[in-house]
Chain A
Amino acid sequence: GIQVEQSPPDLILQEGANSTLRCNFSDSVNNLQWFHQNPWGQLINLFYIPSGTKQNGRLSATTVATERYSLLYISSSQTTDSGVYFCAVEFANDMRFGAGTRLTVKP
């Protein structure tokens, strides 16, 4: 089946710093989403981005489908950005998740 790899697995930042999270996938996909899982376990949908670039405030994402990767950019990070960021790709009939990047933003 399709492989979804996220890097780095862990990231510690000082408040105000910028970061880039990467998602690589091993096959063509119909759909790609980025989620933030907050400390209470809720999955917050950040971007639906099968291709191209989108921006929402301090967050932006780019997917290059032909090269099978997606990037999530976080600028001017805040402590509330802490949590786990998941990339998920739709392959066949379901979404396959990466193992996530655990982000800790220190004040």
Chain B
Amino acid sequence: DADVTQTPRNRITKTGKRIMLECSQTKGHDRMYWYRQDPGLGLRLIYYSFDVKDINKGEISDGYSVSRQAQAKFSLSLESAIPNQTALYFCATSDTGGRNYGYTFGSGTRLTVV
């Protein structure tokens, strides 16, 4: 099993719908992140969490919300999806800020909003 699992792998949704992307990890890391990648670009941070009750906005948090239900689970919600949220979404984990082994990424969720 993958260390960081994202579901679903692919999703097509309609404008205005609410959608949730889920991430779970078996690495025991305390820190979890959601990133977004647009075609031809690097990844940009949406939200991050250092612990179950800790939620922080990243570079591009507008239009998104997150929930850290447990140490191993971090979900990303689009409250009312819009077409420019079409992108590849990645979840990542790290241990104490990645100072030991770096960040580990999931396989990504390809989201299309029509």
The interface of chain A, by Cβ under 8 A from chain B, is 4, 30-31, 33, 35, 41-43, 45, 48, 86, 88, 90, 93-100
* Nearest CB on A from B8, distance (A): 14
Partner of A42, one of B50, B97, B108: B108
- A31–B108 contact, CB under 8 A? no
Q: Does B48 contact A (CB under 8 A)?
A: yes
- B98–A30 contact, CB under 8 A? yes
Given the complex, which residues of B lie within 8 Å of A96, measured CB to CB? Answer: 45
Kindly state the interface size class of chain B when it binds its partner. 20 to 34
Partner of B48, one of A4, A42, A94, A97: A94
Q: Does B43 contact A (CB under 8 A)?
A: yes
Number of A-B residue pairs having CB atoms within 8 Å of each other in the complex: 62
Known: A31-B98, A33-B98, A33-B103. 14 other contacts (CB 8 A): A31-B102, A43-B90, A45-B103, A48-B98, A48-B101, A48-B102, A88-B43, A90-B98, A94-B45, A95-B43, A97-B42, A97-B44, A99-B42, A100-B41
Q: Considering only CB atoms, which chain B residue lies closest to A87 in the complex? A: B42
Bound-complex Cα distance A45 to B50 (A) = 21
A45 and B98 contact, Cβ closer than 8 Å, known pairs A93-B56, A95-B92, A99-B41: no
